[in-house]
A = this chain, B = another copy of it.
């Protein structure tokens, strides 16, 4: 006859080691990138045996995905659900665009390192590609929400979204501008892009 186990303490320990694995993994990913990080690297850093890792995360994909959850919480990316609230109360398109630039710029700043590293390996690791697609969708939703009052054509949204994308932000970040001036420049480019997109 089978016994009924509850294993409260065991479940706690399980969660603790899971957490240790995730912390070690994120540390290493930040230091050396995702793709070059090996299972034995992680086991060593976490002070665990490799077998333990495999029990918790059978494949690399599972591990990266679990990290994704943590990272998502830490950098709070824009989401379609949160978009409406962000622009609440802002009536003019100019105000809304300013808010858009502010929000996305702040997001890219706090996520810069990880977005860069994820971008490097997205072709190799599907979970990273999935993550970045979600981020891009969130940015797209913000853009759409910001411009909603103007009822812009689809192409305008796409162009502005491209301008607000991480690769573009990253390249413009290489210019030695203050945060303030950088946002100002982005804002003007967007306003111009809206007009340009309508004309082509």
Binding site for B on A (CB under 8 A): 33, 36, 120, 123-124, 155, 158-159, 162, 165, 167-168, 170-172, 174-175, 177, 181, 184-185, 188-189, 192-193, 195-197, 199-200
Minimum distance in angstroms from A81 CB to a CB of chain B: 24
Minimum distance in angstroms from A101 CB to a CB of chain B: 13
Chain B residues within 8 Å of A167, by CB: 167-168, 170-171
Chain B residues within 8 Å of A174, by CB: 162
Minimum distance in angstroms from A176 CB to a CB of chain B: 8
- Number of this chain's copies in the assembly equals 2
Q: Cβ of A175 and Cβ of B158 under 8 Å apart? A: yes
Residue in chain B with minimal CB distance to A121:
B120
* Interface residues of A, dominant DSSP: helix
Q: Cβ of A196 and Cβ of B200 under 8 Å apart? A: no
Chain B residues within 8 Å of A162, by CB: 171-172, 174-175
Chain B residues within 8 Å of A192, by CB: 188-189, 192-193, 196
The contact of A175 among B159, B168, B181, B189, by CB within 8 Å, is: B159
Chain B residues within 8 Å of A200, by CB: 177, 181, 184-185, 188
In the bound complex, CA of A37 to CA of B175 (Å): 34
Residue in chain B with minimal CB distance to A196:
B188
Q: Cβ of A189 and Cβ of B185 under 8 Å apart? A: no
A120-B123, A168-B167, A168-B168 known; A199+B188 contact, CB < 8 A: yes
Give 3 closest A-B pairs by Cβ, nearest first.
A192-B192, A188-B196, A167-B167
Q: Cβ of A189 and Cβ of B189 under 8 Å apart? A: yes
In the bound complex, CA of A36 to CA of B36 (Å): 11
Q: Cβ of A185 and Cβ of B197 under 8 Å apart? A: yes
Minimum distance in angstroms from A125 CB to a CB of chain B: 12
Q: Cβ of A159 and Cβ of B188 under 8 Å apart? A: no
In the bound complex, CA of A158 to CA of B172 (Å): 9
Chain B residues within 8 Å of A195, by CB: 188
Minimum distance in angstroms from A116 CB to a CB of chain B: 9
